[in-house]
Amino acid sequence: MDEQQEMKVKNPWHRPHIFLVAFGISVGIIIMVAIAVVQNKPLHQKYKYGIVLDAGSSHTSVYIYEWPAEKENNTGMVRQKHACSVKGKGISSYSGTPEKAGESLKECMDEAKKTIPKQRHQETPVYLGATAGMRLLKMDNDIASEKVLASVETSLQTYPFSYQGARIITGQEEGAFGWITVNYLSENFITASGTVGALDLGGASTQITFVSGQEVESLDNSIDFRLYGNDYRLYTHSFLCYGKDQVLKLSLEQQIKPKLDVTDNIILEDPCFHPGYEMNKSFQSVFDSPCVKMVTHSKTGQTFKHKGIGDWKKCQEAITKVFNTSYCRYSRCSFNDVFQPPVKGRFGAFSAYYFVMNFLNVTTDNSLDDAKKKLGSYCTTHWNTLKQKHPGVKEKYLSEYCFSGTYIITLLEDGYKFTPEDWKNTNFIRTIKDSEAGWTLGYMLNLTNMIPAEAPDTPLLPFGGYVSLMLVLSLLIFVCLILGYIFFRRPSGPAHKEII
């Protein structure tokens, strides 16, 4: 038979079938990846809440914090949701009518009820911490301070929250919790950037807190924390009576005392107040605090004329007199025989530090010398000019900015021994990531144990890394399947043969 017939050896699957199988494998891999993404997608977030009342000397603020319910031990997760400023003065001002102290909180606590979901009310802790204003009241009248605290306690217990107590916190706690707040919000506890020191200034006290790295010679100025697996030994001190309001009384006392026995018609020419400023003030308004010595009863009902002359250098000299630097029993001191190691590193200055310097537009963007010049120029501004320029600012506050700004610079430079370089390393801050800097967040974190002593467990890979890895692995599987299929089905013999 002369006819030749060629027979090709065919694969058992036709070519279209191969594409169908490959398509099925690829679809399966895509579905697998999609399921993995959906499965690991965070669920609808549920939040928990906490309330802290900052009962300061001049006013009370109510802060509401929130955090994801399933991640309450992860740093940087707690944030400030709402803040409310209680109308009126601080609770210590109600010493004569203590029942009104609790009543004053009503408006802000009603806001808290509306802000926090009703189903979370009963599990939301409420803390009230009273600071230097109540410390002074306790020194002056212990019974009155107890009645004020009882009043706010009764008021807070009427709300559907988990009441955790109202107490006067120590100056050391105020400084340390402020330091925790600033570094927690900045996520410094889990980064290699190091911590920042905390400078807090209120109406009745001021605090300085930082990690010094040196031996603290006074146990009263040392506090230890273990946070996220790291140990921190802090230097901290709170100067009672050295908040901006009380130190003004101290300065006025220094200027008034030499004139008390000389004349009944006292005219106090104050270099820390603007030229053109003139006000009749009672002796009682100056000497109504445990921070200053009481004048004789014959003077308490009388008045003196407070007249501004606007001389910044003389103002700084007058303020320096409220610091006692004549004696130090330690290797070095700040003032008033208080041990302090050399300041170290960066600092965040908040509360009145920020409000005063922000109003004056005096920041660390300027050198220390430039800040002094700017403040010196401001203090010489005529009082009438200043009132016309800032018609919306209360005259009491407006009149005191020269004094307060000069006090801040003097406190840092002469009190804490800040150098021009330390000044550059200090930032005046109000908020960090939309949460106000202050002691309240650190206080709540400490009481709720939301900052673990040891570093919290973390997944091997972050969520994005996990998804990326799954995708790469799926592609590799797909390629391997295709190659395996090709090699498995390739004919082992010749492609064709002849049949005769």
Binding site members for ATP = 203-207
DSSP assignment of 25-46 equals: HHHHHHHHHHHHHHHHSPPPP-
CA separation for the pair 277, 118 (Å, rounded): 52
Residue 174 is a catalytic residue: yes
Helices (H), 329-424: 352-360, 368-379, 383-389, 395-410, 420-424
Paired residues of 394 in beta bridges: none
Distance (Å, whole) CA 150 – CA 131: 16
DSSP code, position 411: I
The whole-angstrom distance between residue 24's C-alpha and the CA centroid of its chain comes to 56
**What SS3 class is residue 232?**
strand
3-state secondary structure of 239: strand
Contact (CB, 8 A) for 398 and 387? yes
DSSP bridge pairs for 50: 65
Using CA atoms of 349, 352, 355, 361 in order, give the dihedral in degrees to the nearest 10. -60
Quote the tokens at residue 329.
Answer: 């029993």
Catalytic residue, chosen from 66, 174, 400, 413, is: 174
Of 235, 240, 437, 233, nearest in space to 349 by CA: 437
Backbone phi and psi for residue 146, each to the nearest 5 degrees, phi listed first? -65, -40
**How far is the C-alpha of 318 from the C-alpha of 252, rounded, in Å?**
9
Half-sphere exposure of 399 (CA within 13 A, CB side): 18
Asked if residues 98 and 85 have their Cβ atoms less than 8 Å apart, the reply is no
**What DSSP designation does 230 have?**
E
| HEC-encoded secondary structure of 249-308 | HHHHHHHHHHHCCCCCCCEEEECCCCCCCEEEEEHHHHCCCCCCCCCCHHHHCCEEEEEE
| Token pair recorded at residue 280 | 């009749």
* Structure token pair of residue 232: 């921190």
Q: Report which of 260, 272, 283 is spatially closest to residue 320, judged by C-alpha positions.
A: 272
Residue 281: φ, ψ to 5°: -125, 150
Q: Which of 405, 428, 400, 413 is nearest to 245 (CA)?
A: 400
Tokens of 500: 């005769």
**Which positions make up the binding site?**
203-207
Q: How many CB atoms lie within 10 A of CB 279?
A: 15
Q: Is 19 helix (H, G, I), strand (E, B) or coil?
A: helix
Vertex 220, ends 217 and 223: CA angle to 5°? Answer: 90
Catalytic residues: 174
